[in-house]
Each structure stands twice: as C-alpha cells, then as structure tokens.
Amino acid sequence: MTAPKDRPWLFRTYAGHSTAKASNALYRTNLSKGQTGLSIAFDLPTQTGYDSDHELARGEVGKVGVPVAHLGDMRTLFDDIPLEQMNTSMTINATAPWLLALYIAVAEEQGADVAALQGTVQNDIIKEYLSRGTYICPPEPSLRMITDVAAYTRENLPKWNPMNVCSYHLQEAGATPEQELAFALATATAVLDDLRPKVAPEDFPAMVGRISFFVNAGIRFVTELCKMRAFTELWDEICRTRYGVEDTKFRRFRYGVQVNSLGLTEQQPENNVYRILIEMLAVTLSKNARARAVQLPAWNEALGLPRPWDQQWSLRMQQVLAYETDLLEYGDLFDGNPVIDAKVSALKDGARAELETIDSMGGAVNAIDYMKRRLVEANGDRIGRIETGETVVVGVNKFETTEDSPLTAGNGAIMVADAAAEEDQISRLDAWRAARDEAAVKTALEDLSAAARSGANIMPASIGAAKAGATTGEWGHVIRRTFGTYRAPTGVAAEPSNKTEGLDDIRDAVNAVSDRLGHRLRLLVGKPGLDGHSNGAEQIAARARDCGMAITYEGIRLTAAEIVDAAKEAQADVIGLSILSGSHLPLVHDVLEKLRLAGMADTPVIVGGIIPDEDAAALTNAGVARVYTPKDFELNRIMFDIVAIAEKPLIAAE
C-alpha cells in the first residue's frame, strides 16, 4: 500500500503595487491560478509610518508595494477576498501593530470570526536596524510593540503568528550562514525574553510555539540545506534549554522562505530561473527541515517590476515540484548522511560562538552596533570575492558572452509602476480625511498616545484608531512623538580597514587628485527618500574610505534638503546617491534642483540603483555624471570613476 503523500507547503507570491485596487485584482488573479496563501508587500511610506502625501513619501508611493494609508485602503485591498478563509502574510515591521489593527477591523466588517484569522505579521524590528531600515523609533520601545502584538494575539487571534523572525534580509546584507543563524536566533530570544512577563507561565510554551521564521536560501545549495537543518536543531535546543519547553510541537522550527534575490543578475537574467529553482530545492528536499511556505522571486527582478506572467512562472515552478515529482512521498532523504551531518555540526558550532558573543553583550538589542558592523564586513568580503573571480557568477564575471534574449526584448518586458498612482492615492487620502469624523479621530489618537505612554498594550488603541479613521501617518506620528526618532548605525567605521590589498593604484590616484584639489578628495554618499536598502551605499562608502577618500555617510532616509545641507557642510567634491526603490527619477531631480538653488550646481552627482536604460539616459541628460546599476559590480572601477569626476573641473580650469 502506498504511503500517503505529505501536504505541500503554502504557495505564495510576494506582491503589491500602485494602489489597493490594482493589488486586489492581482491577488484575486493569483489565487485563481492556485496560489494558496497571500503575501502582502507594502510600499515604503506604509512600512515607515508616513502618509502618502508626506515629503519623504514623494516618489515612493506604490513603488515596492501597496500603499495603505487608512481603513478604506485596507477594505479595497481585500475586497471580495474572505479573510476568514485566507492565510495572509503581511511583510510589515515597524507598523505591524497598525496594519494588523486595520486587518482586524476589515475582518470584523466582513463578519469574520476574528479568532479564526490565520496568518503572520513579520514584526521583526531588530533586523530592520541591521539590514532593511524601515524602523520608526528606538529599539527598546520597538521590542515592546513586538511583544504587545504577541500578547494580544494570544488572547484574541489564537491562530495568528505574531512574529516572523526574518533572517532573509540578513543574508541580503551579506551575512554568512553562521551569522544568519545566530543573529536570527538572538532576535527570537530577545523577543521571547521580553514576552515572558506579559503572558501567564502556563501559556508561555504555546507562545514559543507561535514564533515563526522567514529565511533566505542562497545558491550554495548544500550549505543552505544544512543551514536549515542547523536552524531546526538549534531552535529545538534553545526552546528546551533556555525556556524549558517540553512539548515537541512547540519546539518545532516553523519557517517560510523567499529564495535569494541578492544573487539575481541583470546580466543574462534568464539564468535566474535556474538559480531560483536550485535555491528552492534547498528548503524543500529535506523533509525534517522543509519550509511551511515558499515564495519565489521572479527571474527579472534585477531589471524592474515583474509582470503577472513572470510571477506565474515562479508559482508554476513550485507546483511542478510539489505535484509532478515524487518528493512528497518519501521521508527525509538526508538523515544519516555523514557529509550533511558534518556540515550541520560545523554551522551550529559557528552560530553558537556568535550567540555567546551576543549574549555577553546583553542580547540582540544591545548588540545592534556589533551585528551591523559584522554584516558590512561580511558583505565587503563577498563583493571582493566576486571582483577577484574567486566566487564565480555565471554571466557576470565568467561566461559573459551571450546571445540577445527574446525574454527582455521589446516594450513591456518589465512592468512599470503606474505613473498616476501616487496622485490618485493622495487624492483619495484627501477625500478620506475630509469625510471622516475628526472628533472621533482626535479622541482615538489621544487614547493611542495614552496607551503608548502608560505601557498598556498598544493593540486595542490601535484598533480603535483604525476604526475611527486615523491614517498610517497619524499612527506613526504618535509613536514618534512618544518614543522619539532613531538613526541606526551604518556599520561603516570612520577609519580605513586593513583590507587594502589591490588598492594601491587607486590610492595613488586619490592622493594625486587630493594634492591638486588642496584637500583630501571628499565623497558624500546619500540615500534620499525612504529606501532602506543600504548595502550598496555602505560598500561604496567603505571602499572609498579604504581608497583614501574623505567620506560622509549618515545612513538612510534623508530628504533632498538634508543631503544638500550635508554636502555643503562637508564641501563635497562628489555626491553619490543610492536609490533601489525605483524612485530615482523624482528623487534625483529633487536633489539636483536643491543643489542649483544652493549655488552648488557644479557639484557632480553619481547615482546607483535598479535603473532601466531609458531612465539612466534621462538622468544623464539632467546632468548626472554617472549612473550605475547591478551589473556594475566592480567597485574599484567606480572608485577610479570618482577620481576622474573629481578631477574633471581641474582639467577644465587648465
């Protein structure tokens, strides 16, 4: 008799763009194609607690996800989607209490049993300080709000996962497998330590069991498979020894995954299909460490927004593996394998060593500076290995000759965000504010402020504000006013590192142009807007520093005016802007205009990001000196470019 097949994992596609209405149509289409769970991508203003008409939101509305500014947007987002029947993952962190409050309010309007709701809010703020940047306030109150959500769901949403410890962005920021294991597990223990006093002792083991994880699977297939087995064993160990959890089901390592986007290449992007497939195998082949939910990027994400067809292709990849192969008919294929066992053991030892270091500092919150510095160093090492060819990336630093791809030819090869979406969103936000009961909103926001100040659970007051008609920006303003703002460490030390091998020629060039300038060549690196993907900016700043330049880099989320003021104060010779959210055109034009008004129009500007060719041409025509995209992986070449750009006015003067 044939043994019954295992149930497949949840099939998800991470999606959301332009407006709530457009995203709703996309979700219903994906569900009709066999997707079994929703995975909501929110835009950067929503993630960082700003309304769509805030100064920092300019150019960012609807770009990397869907804008949700109030209850009306959330209603539209889930129109004709019965939330009681869904398993919804919301990739939201700093504003997780607020978006969950809006979700609950919509579910109640639909007549759903709130206790039956299933899904997850990511709600992992610590990795935001390390790698993604969508934090609102300092770490301590952020940790408190994470555990407020957890405690509220224990009472009211028993099927909801209140936190998804996210190591995904740690790997995107350059983490080694050992660092990814350790930093994620340290985050989980920080949350559980803070949660423990908020629930009854008899309820705590079940709350441990409701912590889930969201991980990354890279191209090093064997290492990634072993990493997932190491995660499973280390989590079981922590649950037993640190928290005394006896029930095995509460010690189970439950995780979802999106496979690696960091390794997707702009060059020969069709090769990304194979990368995505191999990375998916790392989190599905080993039954005892198999993901509970999988979402795959699209093959062309290094080029721009994927189209519905591109997302469908990734979904079909999962379905072929789950339904056409015999994978789900067998037990674990790797138990007892000596190679696997040895690698798992080595990864666990490395992760334990990192965990001991973090614990010696007082835990993850106190170790944020340390972990950020380690990530920047590890990412620098990764890039260096690609530059030297030690790490082969097919189509990038080896086998670069290629035929033209029909997949990327012609108009419509990638989806372009609706240019009118931002204006449409703002007009509907204005209409929402005009139609609501202002007195009710004022009272609800006062209640929210009182709860934040008193230490009461933030969720009931957030739900009250959602129902009254408050906006995302108003919720965020209360949180900032109560707890203060925060600027996370950049991980880029002021002093040069000792990794200067191969930089002699560039250092000589920097010294020569510095002598001619009469001062050390000054580079300011800025990140305008709300884009928190700082990896590229950090690596440019660190390499420029090691090449002998004087650098100014203050981190993420700056207005154009702040960047220009900083450039003026530093007397920058070159300004470098990094924008990966797709908002490069309006943000760069804003910086250029403010430079002109400040009498600094002659200060050269270079720009890096995921920038289509036609946009690069537009930026060059506007006066940008150089445009760099993911294909420009050789940092040393960029350093030589900066020297040439700084020297150009001197040559012209002669």
**Nearest residue to 478 via CA among 519, 522, 525, 442:** 442
Cα–Cα separations (whole angstroms), residue 317 to 26, 34, 312, 322: 19, 12, 9, 9
Nearest CA to 188 out of 228, 229, 147 is that of 147
Long-range contacts of 448-455 (CB under 8 A, 24+ apart): 448/475, 448/478, 449/478, 449/481, 449/482, 452/141, 452/478, 452/479, 452/482, 452/483, 453/482, 455/144
Calpha distance 540→476 (Å, rounded): 31
- The residues carrying an active-site annotation are 14, 168-169, 527, 531, 533
For residues 236, 237, 238, 244, the Cα torsion angle rounded to the nearest 10 degrees is: 90
CB environment 581-599: b (16+ within 10 A), e (fewer): bbbbbbbbbbbbebbeeee
Task: For the chain, give the longest Cα–Cα distance.
Answer: 88
Structure tokens at 442: 């004022």
Looking at residue 3, the DSSP 8-state letter turns out to be: P
DSSP for residue 14: E
Beta strands 605-608; 574-578: pairing state: parallel
DSSP state at residue 40: E
Separation of CA 181 from chain center: 17
3-state secondary structure of 66: strand
The full DSSP string for 419-435 is TTHHHHHHHHHHHHHHH
Backbone angles phi, psi at 495, to 5 degrees: -85, 145
Cα–Cα distance, 591 to 562 (Å, whole number): 9
Contact indicator for 372, 490 with CB cutoff of 8 Å? yes
SS3 state of residue 190: helix
